[in-house]
Each structure stands twice: as structure tokens, then as C-alpha cells.
Chain A
Amino acid sequence: MSLNIQSLTVEYHTLATKVKAVDRVSLSVDKGETLGLVGESGCGKSTLGLSVIRLVPPPGKIEKGNIILDGIDVVKCSDDEIRRARGRLVGYIFQDPMTSLNPVKKIGAHFIEMIRTHEPKVSREEALKRTQDTLESLGILPERINDFPHQFSGGMRQRVMIGLALALNPRLLIADEPTTSLDVIVEAQIVELLKRLKESLKLTLILITHNIGIVAETADRVAVMYAGRIAEIGESSGLFEKPLHPYTQALLNSVPNIAKKGQVLSWIPGAPPDLASPPPGCLYHPRCPFAFDRCKKDEPSLIKHENSEVACHLYD
């Protein structure tokens, strides 16, 4: 299962303005790898994730670029083709399990519906059996198959979401902030579950989150996004040890370290740019401590530096 994104641009058109949520992003993910996609809220990572299955909500639109998912041209293929790819080739986990399930549908019914939509020849009994097996492997008691979503706790609901995403054995799993709405203990459980599933099912995983800690734990490669563009991509070990882009450095610095005594909480001054009227040159330059003249005029492109790629004039 390979995913190749080339120069993708996604824009949101409102009555007044056009906002570039994703700007010429190129990215590829190899089979079996875990890619972490980090960045602050609003940097475009969720939009990027949704683009892979062509579910960018209106008024958003994929304007330019290519997404090739296992041979399918996501941007240009027919509605029916992409619909069949969803769930079968790609599983998607959403942030808030509370609002991602149909409140008037039983949990079991969610699974059965999904299985029978994609594999219409499967009988009800077989679909039921597969559902029960899945629920069991997720640690959910089989008799709860007839319960409604509101009867489950947050953590259980997220497990259900994971189960649904993996119900048809897709090769690629995209998880958009899978633990953000959960408390820390449950979060750890879910992360463990994801790691285990990744191993046993040989999944390719894209983990979208602003929680750097989880990424450090699970990702092979990490991509850092800022204001719709990729700031840096590299092997996770390398990136965390020696971050190249000033934004990545600031991001890592702002994570509080309980071990360091007397640490002053640091943060990044300023605010993310207004994407309706972005500043010229490098989008980060207003907040960058290393900015120089060229940063204000030229937009940096992704260049190779040692084992990573970084979009910063410091390395040019």
C-alpha cells in the first residue's frame, strides 16, 4: 500500500476570501511505515488527511496536485471508485468518538452495515460473526453488540471507531487526533492498541496529531506542518534529536520536561499567519528568531539536508 502525494493544494472558498489550507504539499508514505504528521491547530493536517479519501468538506476543494493511493488517482477518479476505496483500502479514525458514531444506530449495526455495503454477498450471519470477532479483539464484551453509542465510554467508543476503520482489513490507516479527546490513561491504552494492531496487521499508519509525545513513541518518520506547508520531514529519531527547522525546534522546546528542574515554560511568540492574506516569503518568518532578509522575500522549498528534508533558508 503506497501513498504518494504530489504538490497538493486544497483551498477553502468563502464568500469573501480564499484560504489555502494545504499549499503544494508533497509527501509519500511507504508500505508498513508509520508517518507522524504534527503541527498546531489549523495548520492543515486534518485537511491533508481528509484529502487522501477525498472528503474535504465544502467549501473546501482540492485545487491542484495528485494523490495516488495504491494506484488509484484520488483526485480524478469517479465518485464510485473513491467510495469503494474508503473503508476497504483506507481506514479513517476521527478525533471525537462521541460525534463520529450514528446516535440512533446500534454498535453492531454499524459494523454489519459497513461489511455488507462493501461485500454485498456476505450473509447477515457471517457479517454478525465477523463483527463479534472484531469486537472481541478490541476488548469489547460481545453482548454489547446491541448497545447504542451513548452507552459506551469515550475510550470504548474510540475502540469501536478503530474496529470500524479496520473491519475490512485496509492496508492504510489514517488516525486524525485519535486520542485528543481522551484522558491520559485511556490515551495510553489506545496508543498501545494501535501499536499492537499495526504490528499484527502490518498496517501503514498516518498519525495526525499535535501531541508530539505520541508521535515520538510510535512514528518511523515525522512530517512537521506549518500554515499549510511542510516545514520539515525526517526520520523520527533524527528529528527529535536534532530538529532542523526553527519551528520544529520551538515546538520541541515548548514541550514541558518534568525532569528538568526550574524550567521556564517556553512558547512561540506571535500567532499563526492569516491564511487568507499570508505574509510574503517564508510563512514562519514573523515568529522566527533566525529570520534574515531573504526569509522575508523568498519562499523556501523543501531541500534535502543530511537525512531529512527541510524548507528553510538556513540550510540553503
Chain B
Amino acid sequence: MSLRSYIIARILLTIPMILLLLTFVFLIIRVLPGDPASLHFEKQVDPKLLQEFKHQLGLDKPIIIQYLDYLAGLLKGDFGKSMQDYSPVSQQIFSAFPATLELAISATLIMIIVGVLLGVQASRSYNSSKDHSIRIFGIASYATPVFFLGEVLIMIFAIYLHLLPAGDRIYASMSPTGLTIGDFHLRTGLYTIDSILEGNPSKLVMSLRYLCLPSITLGTVLCGIFIRLTRGNMLETLQSEFVTAARARGLKERTVVYGYALRNAFLPILTMMGLQFAALLAGAVLTETTFSWPGLGRYLVDRITFRDYTAIQGVVVFFGLLVAMVSLTVDIIYAYLDPRIRF
């Protein structure tokens, strides 16, 4: 199968899945017992006010119409209106998204770097105490609730050692402004990148300081899988003949391990990255709450506190779409890199 037909087939497969996903979220929010509108109000509310409220949000229409409106709205990028002030949820989503993206990217970097390095170390000292301790670390870190680890790190680094901030991001007034050339303005919302674009090293340092603990927390909790995967692949690859042949040529052990074994064992690690994205987002929700990091996760949790069900629906849908897009991209990249998959 050529790459093109694979891509088409894969996209065709994604569409029903997305549809199912959207329907599922809709069913949860609108159809599950409990009318979202009345649930929003804690106490009894004047029926006329309730009716007006429902009307504003389109919750008074028949379920089928609501469903179709919902789907149609999504095609236009409308993720619904907040119950709090009827403002469009999409606005909030897109303003909170860059923070989550920044966290996700840096956590991924840590997850992979720590996971792969530890995995390589474990594979090199097979069955030694170092190997066992690394494996136990991998399992234990996965078993730790991410917010617990976050709180412990806050305790140590922010409260006792006063090294790093306990949460939040740079104050809005001090946030990097990005690149400005004449009328052209580029601001990604990722403060680290923006400070580089702005050419402001002190803002870069500050952004990194705030980013540090949350990404270490999230990255550590998820690195266990990569430790195991790398260790397994490396153990296998280190047995292969081209590795022995490389050693027989007197190449240095480090060259053999990283240049020969790891380079050939790396592809599955890339795919796993894509598969872990969903877990990354779930972890981000808790991490952002722990560190008051102003991203989508914290927005979701805020909306829960306010019982803003329409906003919750919008954010959950966004999460789902995000995961679907990412896994589609990963599959396509993988197919491009490894022709055998397309058969």
C-alpha cells in the first residue's frame, strides 16, 4: 500500500471514531440523569429564570436538535457557551491551550530523556542491583499520584529550599511579548519560546523557573513506561550480531551502546510517545491544578467547581479531538518512517 492510500484509509477510520467520541460526550453531559441546567444551580431557582437560562444556552430544544446543533457548532469551531456568563468557551480554550502545550512539550522531553537514559543504563547492567532499582523506580513513579509528587516537590524545592516558585506562571504584565517586526507580531503563548523570540534572557530564565517543577513532576510520573520499553528493546538489540561485530572491531562501548544499539531500537519509543499523549493530557489536568498552572486542565477543574456543564463539555470535546489528531499524526509519521507497516 502506498503512503497516500494509507493516509486516506487512516483518516477515514478516524472520522467514525471522532463522531463516536463526540456523541459519547454529548450523551454523558446531556442525557445522563440530571438536567445540566438545573444541576448548575445549587438551590431552587425561579422557573422563569431557569427557562431563560436554558434558552440562552440552547438547552430547551429537543435533544436531537441539540445534538445536531452541537455537531454543526463544532465544525465551525464553536465549543458552546459558558453557563457562567454565556461567553464562548472556545475563546477560553484557545487562550488556555498554549500553557498546556508548553507543559506537555517540556514534560514529554523530560519523560523521554529520563526514561530512555535510565532504560539504557538498566539494559547495560542486566540483572544487577542497578537494573533492579531502575525498574522499581519506573514502577514506583508510575504508582505515585502525580499531584502527590507535585506537592512533595513543592514542599522540598519551594517551601524548604526556596529555590523554585510554588506555582503559576509569570505575571501577565511581565509575560514575554514575542517577536515584533514592524507590524508583524508573533506570539505563540509558550512563554519560553516567546522570550527567545523577544530576545529577553531574563524572561526566559523566569519562564523556565516556573516551568521546571510542573514538567519534572509530570515527566517523572510517566517515564516508567519508557524505561521499560527502552530496556526491553536495548536488551534485545544488544544481543544482535551487528553489535557483537561492532565490539569485535574494538569500538568504544559508548559508541556501541548509543550509536549502534540505541539508534536501531529507537523507533518504537517514538510511537509510544504518541500513545502516551492521552495519559499526558490526563496527568496535565492534575499537574496544572497542583501548580496553579493556567492551562486547559486548570480551566476544566475550575469549571467543575462552578458546575459549568456546558464549558466542561466543550473542554472535554477539545481534549478528545486533540488526542485523535495527535494519534493520527503519529500513525502517519510512523508509516512514513517504516515502510513495512503499510504493507
Contact = CB atoms under 8 A, between A and B. Distances in A.
A touches B (Cβ under 8 A): yes
Interface of A: 50, 53, 55, 57-58, 79, 83-88, 92, 94, 96, 99-104, 113-114, 117-118, 161, 164-165
Contacts of A55: 244, 247-248
Contact of B249 (A50, A57, A58, A164): A164
Nearest to A58: B126
A94 B249 contact: no
B255 interface: yes
B159 interface: no
Contacts of A87: 248-251
B247 A96 contact: no
Contacts of A92: 245, 248-249
A117 B255 CA distance: 10
26 contacts: A53-B248, A55-B244, A79-B253, A83-B247, A83-B251, A83-B253, A84-B250, A85-B250, A86-B247, A86-B250, A87-B251, A92-B249, A94-B241, A94-B245, A96-B241, A100-B242, A100-B245, A101-B242, A102-B242, A102-B263, A103-B242, A104-B264, A113-B255, A117-B249, A117-B251, A164-B249
Given A58-B126, A104-B264, A99 B241 contact: yes
Contacts of B126: 58
Contacts of A101: 242, 245
B260 interface: yes
B30 to A, nearest CB: 52
B240 A114 contact: no
A103 B245 CA distance: 12
A84 B250 CA distance: 6
B239 interface: yes
Contacts of B251: 83, 87, 113-114, 117
A111 B239 CA distance: 22
Query: Which 4 A-B pairs rank lowest in CB-CB distance, beginning with the nearest?
Result: A87-B250, A86-B250, A92-B248, A100-B245
B233 to A, nearest CB: 15
Nearest to A79: B253
A79 B126 CA distance: 18
B246 interface: yes
Which of B245, B255, B260, B263 has the largest number of chain A CB atoms within 10 A? B245
Contacts of A86: 247-250
A120 B185 CA distance: 50
Contact of A88 (B242, B247, B250, B252): B250
Given A58-B126, A100-B241, A100-B242, A117 B260 contact: no
Interface of B: 126, 239-242, 244-253, 255, 259-260, 263-264
A92 to B, nearest CB: 4
Contacts of B260: 102
Given A94-B244, A94-B245, 14 more contacts: A53-B248, A55-B247, A58-B126, A83-B253, A86-B250, A87-B251, A100-B241, A100-B245, A102-B263, A104-B263, A104-B264, A113-B251, A117-B250, A118-B250
A11 to B, nearest CB: 17
Contacts of A161: 245
A50 B242 CA distance: 14
B265 to A, nearest CB: 11
Contacts of A85: 250
B252 to A, nearest CB: 6
A243 B321 CA distance: 77
A83 B253 CA distance: 9
B246 A57 contact: no
B243 to A, nearest CB: 9
Contacts of B247: 55, 83, 86
B323 to A, nearest CB: 31
A183 B290 CA distance: 66
A114 B239 CA distance: 20
A50 B244 CA distance: 10
Contacts of A117: 249-252, 255
A150 to B, nearest CB: 12
B312 to A, nearest CB: 47
Contacts of A58: 126
B143 to A, nearest CB: 28
Given A53-B248, A55-B247, A86-B248, A99 B253 contact: no
A148 to B, nearest CB: 13
Contacts of A114: 249-251
Contacts of A88: 250
Contacts of B250: 83-88, 114, 117-118
A107 to B, nearest CB: 13
A102 B240 CA distance: 10
